[in-house]
Homo-oligomer: A and B are copies of this chain.
Amino acid sequence: MADENRLIDDRDLRFLLFEHLHAERLCALPHFADHSQQTFELYLAEAARLARQVVFQSYKPMDEQAAYFKDGRVHTHPLMRDLYPQIVELGMLTAARPYAVDGQQLPLCVYSMAASYLMAANLSAFGYCMLTTGAAHLIESFGSDALRRDYMQPMYGGQWTGTMALTEPDAGSSLGDLRTRARPAGGHYLIDGSKVFISGGDNTLSENIVHLALARIEGAAPGVKGISLFVVPKRRLQDDALVDNDVAAAGTFHKLGWRGIPSIALNFGEGGDCHGYLVGEPGRGLHYMFQMMNEARINIGLHGVATASVAYQQALLYARSRPQGRRLGAGADAPQVPIIEHADVRRMLLRQKTIVEGGLALVAVTARYADLAEHAANPAERERAQALLDLLTPITKSYPAEKGFEANTLAVQVHGGYGYTSEYLPEAWLRDQKLNSIHEGTTGIQSLDLLGRKVFRSAGATLGPLLEEIAHAIEQAREAGLGDLADALASARDGLETTSTALLTKAASDPDLALSHSADYLELASTVVVGWQWLAMATLAGRALDTGCEAHDEPFYRGKLQAARYYAATELPRVAALAALCQSCETSYHAMPSEWF
């Protein structure tokens, strides 16, 4: 495989799944009993092949010629007509779904890693698949048999695409304020309202588009309790035929990135004939959406990692091949050296490596908890996995987005002046990456979720399993002779624990002030959690080197250890400052009135 198309480091991905997380052990569970490491590897290889040989080639043309709005339709890039069936053929719509809906019952952690190749290859091309499977999954979980047959099946089958239609012009982060109305009309509802930022909300790719839309049934309570979930198709099934359902694309938003899958403004029911079909019970719309949120947020985390990864791989390739400058003290006659010889370039690459591989480990471990939360053998295991999943989700959603953006920035920087041009791709990945800190709940929302909803509401109890896992990793590292790295994480872990306690105490008297440090707390917790993953990876690498790994694997393990050392030296020390900031309940932004700006 040519280096140009590396996208994701295969060796690292297999290290994560089979040395670190032992995904193959999931096959002992009934749900995954038909699988083996071999079937996992096969699926990963197929995904990698399609991503590298086909999907990646479409990225630049799709970025350059954005999908566009004309004559009431959004015209998808013509390449998508070839790509989408191949992604469907690979089983990406249903591979992680159960046999009952013609899925393959792959663990989410394996499926996610396979998906990472396709995300790295072309985020917006794969976006149509993600949205469709997410929307179909909502019907699968909460919809009636009729809705499953009429709408879920053609989506999972790849004939129709799907969307999540939540946001409205005045209801973004505050979904409780949405205004789209649903009026009962005998069996169905008449939908009336406007949605914005609906990714894939119109396209020329599929014969029908099924919107999973939030709306308020007439007379419903204000706020989130009055919100219900509806299937609102572009064309509805009526007497076994598809008829127009009064859903109009009103235009696209011109976006910084994700040019292949535009955000659409949609109008439902301008002609008074937009039928919606209630999913599940009235008033449970946001509740249903939240049940799907963990999965959606893990996906966003994976976007972040994949987009940082492909840029890192290209920066690495560039740094190894671009001659510029000389070693200290070399004469002007000496040949120029590849820029990877310069320490500061290596620093930028090593930083990208820690973000990318740390982020991938974070996503993979979170996805494995999602697998265990649903399929582990006994209730106690499931409950513990669920607690870890809930706690890790806001971190998994936001760390790759925030730090991934930094990694993407460094990939541009490694390319120098060329990095600022579209002759090279890093600037495009930088543009794509920025969305990940915004959609599916901004980083600010994630921080409130972590501190407010997860830590405060459980009075800190939800931290218990995580702290145990971290303690276990520290112990293992000590046994493997990595005492210095273990100490660094132990100190950071203490910072997390004391900060959590201090903020909990403060929350009892002044919840507003305690919550004002949510972003700092998220950063602190993320640094510790990713540090936990790096320590675990370092322990495995150290053991492999100690017991004599194969020669061709040695550079990989040495690189892992070096990256873990870099992380311990540069990132973990930040915890102390963040802990002090949170624990002091510093008030500068809490107390800053608008007029002082």
Contact = CB atoms under 8 A, between A and B. Distances in A.
Interface string A511-524: 11001101100000
Given A254-B423, A345-B444, A596-B555, A223 B332 contact: yes
A304 to B, nearest CB: 14
B588 A580 contact: no
A78 to B, nearest CB: 22
A325 interface: yes
Contacts of A496: none
A559 interface: yes
A38 B442 CA distance: 47
A559 B597 contact: yes
Interface stretch (A46-54, A185-193, A413-421, A457-465): A413-421
A543 B427 CA distance: 46
A581 B569 contact: yes
Interface in A544-582: 555-556, 558-559, 562-563, 565-566, 569-570, 573-574, 576-577, 580-581
A174 B325 contact: yes
A116 to B, nearest CB: 19
Interface stretch (A22-30, A133-141, A237-245, A429-437): A429-437
Interface string A320-364: 100111111001110010101111111111100100000000000
Q: Interface extent on A, as a size class? A: 35 or more
A519 B347 contact: yes
Given A332-B222, A416-B173, A516 B344 contact: yes
A353 B589 CA distance: 11
The oligomer's copy count stands at 2
Contacts of A342: 444
Nearest to A556: B596
A316 interface: yes
A443 interface: yes
Contacts of A590: 343, 346
Contacts of A576: 573, 577
A451 B236 CA distance: 68
Contact of A442 (B174, B221, B413, B577): B413
A593 to B, nearest CB: 8
Given A405-B409, A421-B255, A512-B328, A597 B172 contact: no
A369 B545 CA distance: 55
A224 interface: yes
Given A177-B324, A224-B332, A256-B427, 4 more contacts: A174-B325, A316-B597, A350-B592, A562-B596
7 contacts: A170-B336, A172-B416, A177-B336, A256-B422, A566-B589, A569-B584, A576-B577
Interface of A: 167, 170, 172-174, 176-177, 196-197, 221-225, 253-257, 263, 316, 320, 323-328, 331-333, 336, 338, 340-350, 353, 405, 409, 412-413, 416-417, 419-423, 427, 430-431, 434-435, 437-439, 442-444, 447-448, 511-512, 515-516, 518-519, 555-556, 558-559, 562-563, 565-566, 569-570, 573-574, 576-577, 580-581, 584, 586, 588-597
